[in-house]
Chains A and B, each alone.
Chain A
Amino acid sequence: ETGVTQTPRHLVMGMTNKKSLKCEQHLGHNAMYWYKQSAKKPLELMFVYNFKEQTENNSVPSRFSPECPNSSHLFLHLHTLQPEDSALYLCASSQDVRGGSVTDTQYFGPGTRLTVL
């Protein structure tokens, strides 16, 4: 148990559906992240939020829409996804985002396994 929870753990959706992934951290951290992990590829950073403000968007298609209402919660809203978006979506949190520091250590949730039909 890392202190980061994600729901749902598994999700199957059609290309026309709208769904949301939820992440919650109980570590008192200020930064939260969304990653995508596809088979045989490194973790790809999607979004970074620091103190509820988005600080990074790694050229993610607009069919993925993040929301961070407070430092403890992070959502990823999904709409009109493509089959190639099927992957494991991981949420993480860290104390800070200053870079090159122990406060950067990220703690991950268990992930949501997404399948787009």
Chain B
Amino acid sequence: DQQVKQNSPSLSVQEGRISILNCDYTNSMFDYFLWYKKYPAEGPTFLISISSIKDKNEDGRFTVFLNKSAKHLSLHIVPSQPGDSAVYFCAASPRIGNQFYFGTGTSLTVIP
């Protein structure tokens, strides 16, 4: 049973606009969340993380929002650039333990 879900397999956005990628999780023990970006023929690259003690973390054009009551997190990219076109994975880790649970990914296409 998938504990981390990304229900949108793909997303297309115009350059300069906002991209919003969503992720839902089911396990209330998840305490630490990450977003990874993956280009074809490369491994996932760490993008941004958030701990459950926060509800927002910002790094340049990337902001991750965490809604613990809804068990939902989202990644906002503003403004979107063609180089942001990639597959984005969210992942979650429990408070104790060494396993990350990954979503299936959302393929983002930023149209010039």
**A residues bordering B, Cβ < 8 Å?**
2, 4, 6, 31, 40-43, 45, 48, 50, 55-56, 90, 92, 97-102, 104-111
Query: Which one, B2, B98, B103, B105, contacts A104 given CB within 8 A?
Result: B98
**B residues bordering A, Cβ < 8 Å?**
2, 4, 31-32, 34, 36, 41-46, 49, 51-52, 89, 91, 93-105
Residues A40 and B98 in contact in the complex (CB < 8 Å), given A4-B43, A90-B44, A106-B46: no
A43: nearest chain-B partner, CB-CB? B102
Contact B42 A50 (CB under 8 A): no
Q: Which residues of B contact A48 (CB under 8 A)?
A: 98-99
Contact A56 B32 (CB under 8 A): no
Q: Which residues of B contact A2 (CB under 8 A)?
A: 43, 45-46
